Amino acid sequence: MRPRATAQQLRVGEAAAWGPRPEASRQLRRARLRKWTPHTSGSLLGFLSIECASGLILNDLRLMIGKNGHWIAMPAVKQLDRDGKRRVDANGKPIFNQLIEFRDRATADRFSAMGLALVRTADPSFQGEEK
């Protein structure tokens, strides 16, 4: 009776018969900038759409700048009261409901850095100076 093949021997045999595993040979897909519209108004620098590596397309993103640098503002909708009027906070500013959010600040910061890099690559004339 022959001894059983080890897991490593089985993987070698599979690779010889079927080729490398798809996830091992797949090129890492990157996010890509689908649309960039420069529009400076206050802390707003422009609008963008990003296609993530997963295929998810995020439209109506806003590239913003503030005292802590650049960030990508995700789409949001204004809250309305029962009469259809916009709700405001104690300072009179509109209240928004986030449609998309990140689980933590570090993830949001990585996404913002990636979005800013995509804009700078696609639009060399973009300055985006720090405030």
Can you give the pLDDT at residue 46? 95
Can you give the pLDDT at residue 19? 74
What are 112-124's pLDDT values in tens digits? 999 999 999 998 8
Higher pLDDT pick, 74 / 23: 74
pLDDT band per the 50, 70, 90 thresholds, residue 1: confident
Distance CA 59, CA 75 (A): 8
DSSP 1: -
Distance CA 35, CA 55 (A): 15
DSSP 20: S
Can you give the pLDDT at residue 108? 93
Can you give the pLDDT at residue 18? 79
The verdict on pTM exceeding 0.85 is no
pLDDT of residue 24 exceeding 80? no
Kindly list the structural domains of the chain, giving each domain's residue range(s) and its CATH number in brackets, ordered by start: 29-122 (3.30.1120.40)
Can you give the pLDDT at residue 4? 87
Amino acid in position 32: R
DSSP assignment of 39-108 equals EEETTEEEEEEEE-TTS-EEEEEEEEEETTEEEEEPPEEE-B-TTSPBPB-TTSPBPEEESS--SSHHHH
> Residue 71 — φ and ψ, nearest 5°?
-155, 160
Least confident of 9-18, 40-49, 82-91: 9-18
What are 25-84's pLDDT values in tens digits? 444 468 999 999 999 999 999 999 999 988 999 999 999 999 989 999 999 999 999 999
